[in-house]
Amino acid sequence: MPILLDYLPIALSVLFFTALAVQLFYYLFFFLRVSLKETRPTDNHMEPLSVIICARNEAEHLQKFIPLVMGQDYPDYEVVVVNDCSTDDTEMVLAQLKIRFPRMRYTNIVEDKKFKHNKKLAITVGVKSAKNEHLVFTDADCYPETKSWLRDMQQGFGWDKDIVVGYGGYEERKGFLNKIIRFDSLFIAMNYLGFARASAPYMGVGRNLAYTKTLFFKNKAFATNYELNSGDDDLLVNETATSKNTGVVISKGSIVRSVPKTTLKELFFQKRRHISTADRYKLRHRILLAIEIVSRFAFYAAIIPALYFAPHPDVFWYIVGGIGLRLITQLVVVKLTMMTLNERNLLLYSPLLDVLLPVLYFIVYLSNALDGKRSNYRWK
């Protein structure tokens, strides 16, 4: 036992500096890529697009956001809305919008009590209804920030890409919960956009995602994960994306905003649904994601013990310097990413949220593990 105690200061120092090195690697090799400029295709040819939106009881949002989708500065596109068993005024609103916007079409899925389904059926119906090969997806509670959304997303198909991943953020509102939601969305984007730019695409978000109809049917869509209530976006990308067939669009013109949750309970159940797909990711992606969050946890957990048991005064100050280096790196990369993705008022909160989010995710993972009910078919 005394021998083990003798080695404890060294072990803690090694743990701290190893976690620090891993964290700096992720920030500088993956996350920083999100804010770096990238060469775009020079071909200005714009393929016809089909925008697909699935909606369940979204009458208010459709009335508000469809005009923004229909107001895109793009020569040839249609909007297909799939009304999935809505019980509110969604169908009436869509009928009224159809009169205003002839390029918008909609189809209804009638509820069958003997056959329960999730969003994946609605997406499949939308894909089959689409007239065009190139498909762009967003949600009914989302809207493009600019009129150039489709122009920018279409450029991602350049160089014969089949998948295009873009950024979908949340509206800025008052309150600390909103900052949690928006920073979580920002950090997730730093992961999947940064990884994709590093030739390791692993997911996309349904708020702002595009792919070809050929890819959808060639890979049998959701055949491997239909029973899951989530995965219509991230698992589809995880199963089909490669470094060669995936384009990344990061520009202020391509950003889509979504209406955020307003209560912690709503956020908690949303994260439960999202996280339920994590164990279906390819092994290499699970390892890459796990290394980041484990190293972050180890970094914070080792700070106080490593400082307290520092084997030498110089080591103590090296640890203090490491803490400062990681903090400065984080703030710089987060600030650059915020500027790139048009996010505001998150920088000062980011060190605190960087600690809190792994705790939130651990609680969500634990809740899912104890519950074990991942096949709840209600997607709205």
Q: If pLDDT is split at 50, 70 and 90, which confidence band does 228 have?
A: confident
DSSP state of 280: G
For the ranges 111-120, 220-229, 307-316, the one whose mean pLDDT is highest: 307-316
Q: Per DSSP, which regions of the chain are E strands?
A: 49-55, 77-84, 104-109, 134-139, 142-144, 163-165, 168-170, 209-212, 246-248, 256-258
pLDDT at 5 > cutoff 60:
no
CA-CA distances (angstroms) from residue 161 to 17, 98, 243, 347? 40, 32, 10, 34
Residue 113: pLDDT over 90 = no
Residues 170, 77 share a domain: yes
How far apart are the C-alpha atoms of 315 and 308, rounded to whole Å?
11
Average pLDDT over residues 284-313: 94
Residue 267 domain flag: no
CATH code for position 69: 3.90.550.10
User: Does residue 376 surpass a pLDDT of 60?
Assistant: no
Same domain, 228 and 256: yes
Residue 291 and residue 207 in one domain: no
pLDDT tens digits along 306-346: 999 988 889 999 999 999 999 999 999 999 999 999 999 99
Q: Are 75 and 101 in contact (CB under 8 A)?
A: no
The tens digit of pLDDT for each residue in 351-375 reads 999 999 988 888 988 888 887 655 4
User: In terms of domains, do 237 and 297 share one?
Assistant: no
C-alpha–C-alpha distance, residues 337 and 187, integer Å:
9
Nearest-angstrom CA–CA distance, 201 and 339: 23
Average pLDDT over residues 153-157: 94
Question: What is the span of the domain harbouring residue 227?
Answer: 40-189+196-261
Amino acid 306: pLDDT: 94
Cβ neighbours for 10, distance < 8 A, ≥ 6 positions apart = 311
Task: List, in order, residues 6 or more apart from 308 with CB less than 8 Å away.
Answer: none
Q: Is the pLDDT of residue 58 over 90?
A: yes
Looking at residue 379, its pLDDT comes to 59
Q: Are residues 80 and 143 in the same domain?
A: yes
* pLDDT, average across residues 259-264: 94
Amino acid sitting at position 315? V
More confident: 317 or 159 = 317
**317 and 177 co-located in one domain:** no
Tokens of 157: 């198909």
Residue 379 placed within a domain:
no
Give the Cβ contact number of residue 165 at 10 Å.
Answer: 30
Q: What is the pLDDT of residue 115?
A: 79
Number of domains within the chain: 2
pLDDT at position 378 is: 59
The pair of structure tokens assigned to 343 is 């996010």
CA–CA distance, 289 with 285 (Å, rounded to integer): 6
Co-location of 300 and 328 in the same domain: yes
380 part of a folded domain? no
Residue 209 lies in a domain: yes
Coil vs helix vs strand at 67: helix
Q: How high is the pLDDT of residue 274?
A: 83
| Count of beta carbons in the 10 Å neighbourhood of residue 106 | 22
Asked whether 229 and 376 are in contact (CB, 8 A), the reply is: yes
Q: Is residue 273 part of a domain?
A: no
| Residue 175 CB partners (closer than 8 Å, separation 6+) | none
pLDDT of residue 377: 45
Contact (Cβ atoms closer than 8 angstroms) between residue 51 and residue 79:
yes
Residue, of 311 and 284, whose pLDDT is higher:
284
Task: Identify whether residues 185 and 321 lie together within a single domain.
Answer: no
Instruction: Tell me if 132 is assigned to some domain.
Output: yes
pLDDT at 201 over 60: yes
pLDDT band at 189, cuts 50/70/90?
A: very high
Say which DSSP state 238 is in.
H
Q: How would residue 2 be classed by pLDDT, with cut points 50, 70 and 90?
A: low
Question: In this structure, is residue 116 part of a structural domain?
Answer: yes
Same domain for 115 and 93?
A: yes
Could you identify the residue written with the tokens 């978000």?
205
Please list, residue by residue across 202-227, b when 16 or more beta carbons sit within 10 angstroms of its beta carbon and e when fewer do.
Answer: bbbbbbbbbbbbebbeeeebbeebee
Per-residue model confidence (pLDDT) at position 370 = 83
Same domain for 81 and 178 = yes
Do 221 and 253 reside in the same domain of the chain?
yes
Residues 225 and 116 both lie in one domain: yes
Task: Say how many C-beta atoms besides its own lie within 10 A of residue 196's C-beta.
Answer: 26
Mean pLDDT calculated for residue range 199-204: 97
pLDDT at res. 190: 98
Residue 376 resides in a domain: no
> Tokens 């350049």 correspond to what residue?
158
In angstroms, how far is CA 376 from the centroid of its own chain?
21
